[in-house]
Amino acid sequence: MEQIQRIQDVYRPVEERVKDVNEVERAFAAADIIPQASRCSNCGIPFCHGAGCPLFNLVPEFNAAVAAGDIRKAYDTISKTAFYPEFTGRVCPALCESSCTRNLNDEAVMVRQTEKFIIETAFAEGWVEQPQAAEPNGKSVAVIGSGPAGLYAAEALRRKGYAVTVYEKRPKVGGLLRYGIPNWKLDKSVIDRRVALLEKAGIKFVCSTEIGKDISAEYIKRNFDYVFLAIGTPNARDLKIPGREAEGVYLALDFLHGASLPGETNPERFNAKGKRVLIIGGGDTGNDCVGKSIREGCKSVLQVEFMPQPPETRSPSTPWPDWPYMLRTSYAHHEGGERRWNVSSKSFVVKDGHVAGVNVVKVDWEMSPLGRPLKPVEVPGTEEVIEADLVVLAMGFTGVPAEGLVNDLQLQLTPRTAIIPDPSRGIYAVGDCANGASLVVRAMASSKQVVGKL
């Protein structure tokens, strides 16, 4: 029998997608997805489900249902463990796929797109309903922050019969799903569709309201039985080198903001049109900045990374079924631009108050026996200037949450500056603010775990 191969090209053609802000991925039909799901061998120990997925999604079970053409059953299966497959089906790095047994001598089963297909079919068929709330238990909860952790906690609590109010300081619900991840990875109507169902289930959303500023933490403690902090990690890591104050040097989230919100535009200074863009930071956020620069018609875009280039294939330091340390090439890298590794930024070149480039030097890395970078060493004589009209800092988040609010609630921060909750007073912390900047799926899984214990 002919072996079914994993579909390689999941994106719309580059020339088409860079001209719009619509989702970069193709929508797959049943005829594409059903054979893909049938590649799942339902192996004896499904690492995708346990070691891979933080939500413990029943991946082999929903693959089997899809392979049998029973999408309703697949939807019912996925609904047992996950509330929002439409988010993870679009943006999850698919930890399940990296732990798929087929990886051992073939390519992983295409799980993420299957998940998206199941939930989009479910919406199209009218199967997705508002969450069913249990009998009211007479207790109230304030959820502070409406990112994936806040939404997941709100729904899980509502299902248990709590009266839930979500406070969000931004004008709209969604956290980084809306104000970080660009529209071309997650169309914002997908968030609105889900929030409408949550509202129907009786969850109250109060936007444009910052707790600790517009409403005091004291008020929240007095008026609610429980408080769920889901405030994310709002502080981006900065690059405090000479010249940082120059015009034209921006944090990634400021630069990305307009890209995430169709119909809204960023101030002109954030627009990359005709500019030589330098992105400092080689992670996912930096990749999205590459995508934005290309969509806006930049003259050139270069992404630099301090760390060395990871190996093309799984490093021995991360054997299967671990999440592999290896080179990742995102949708944006297929769209254009260049990447460089081992680059240390020393100072900004400033002309008339505006950035004109960055002074950099090459670093070599001492490596561990298993090929992990241990210690950087600057290489004398490799100093150079990278010219740029716009520099974007995409170097992750410090993990320092809103200290004012944490103090007002008399909570503590760990040395990693994640929030230490105080369940004895009914105060819980979930998502990135509790665990450090991570992933949508982990933010949701953290809420699932905490609410599950209530």
Ligand X SMILES: Cc1cc2nc3c(=O)[nH]c(=O)nc-3n(C[C@H](O)[C@H](O)[C@H](O)COP(=O)(O)OP(=O)(O)OC[C@H]3O[C@@H](n4cnc5c(N)ncnc54)[C@H](O)[C@@H]3O)c2cc1C
In the complex, the residues that contact ligand X under the rule CB under 6 A are: 91-92, 144-150, 167-170, 175-177, 180-181, 185, 210-212, 230-232, 234, 253, 256, 284-285, 288, 402, 405, 431-433, 437-441, 443
Looking at the Cβ atoms of 358 and 394, the one nearer to ligand X is 394
DSSP state of 425: G
Measure CA 10 to chain center. Answer: 19
In whole angstroms, the minimum distance from the beta carbon of 171 to ligand X comes to 10
Copy the structure tokens of residue 302. Answer: 């270069």
Looking at the Cβ atoms of 58 and 220, the one nearer to ligand X is 220
In whole angstroms, the minimum distance from the beta carbon of 95 to ligand X comes to 10
Helix (H) / strand (E) element for 374: namely: strand 373-378
Looking at the Cβ atoms of 70 and 403, the one nearer to ligand X is 403
Residue 131, classed as helix, strand or coil, is: coil
Looking at the Cβ atoms of 89 and 248, the one nearer to ligand X is 89
Copy the structure tokens of residue 393. Answer: 């800092």
DSSP3 helix / strand / coil % (the chain, rounded to 5): 35, 20, 45
Copy the structure tokens of residue 124. Answer: 């199209």
Residue 62, classed as helix, strand or coil, is: helix
In whole angstroms, the minimum distance from the beta carbon of 375 to ligand X comes to 28
In whole angstroms, the minimum distance from the beta carbon of 32 to ligand X comes to 22
Q: Answer yes or no: are the C-beta atoms of 224 and 141 closer than 8 Å.
A: yes
Looking at the Cβ atoms of 150 and 357, the one nearer to ligand X is 150
In whole angstroms, the minimum distance from the beta carbon of 354 to ligand X comes to 25
* Position 105, amino acid: N
Looking at the Cβ atoms of 281 and 321, the one nearer to ligand X is 281
Copy the structure tokens of residue 388. Answer: 């740029």
In whole angstroms, the minimum distance from the beta carbon of 152 to ligand X comes to 8
Residue 133 C-beta-side C-alpha neighbours within 13 Å: 19
Looking at the Cβ atoms of 243 and 288, the one nearer to ligand X is 288
Q: Answer yes or no: are the C-beta atoms of 86 and 190 closer than 8 Å.
A: yes
Helix (H) / strand (E) element for 178: namely: helix 176-179
Tokens 């034209």 -> residue: 248
Looking at the Cβ atoms of 167 and 250, the one nearer to ligand X is 167
Q: Which of 367, 358, 347, 260 is nearest to 304 (CA)?
A: 358
In whole angstroms, the minimum distance from the beta carbon of 210 to ligand X comes to 4
In whole angstroms, the minimum distance from the beta carbon of 444 to ligand X comes to 8
Q: Answer yes or no: are the C-beta atoms of 27 and 124 closer than 8 Å.
A: no
Copy the structure tokens of residue 83. Answer: 């509330």
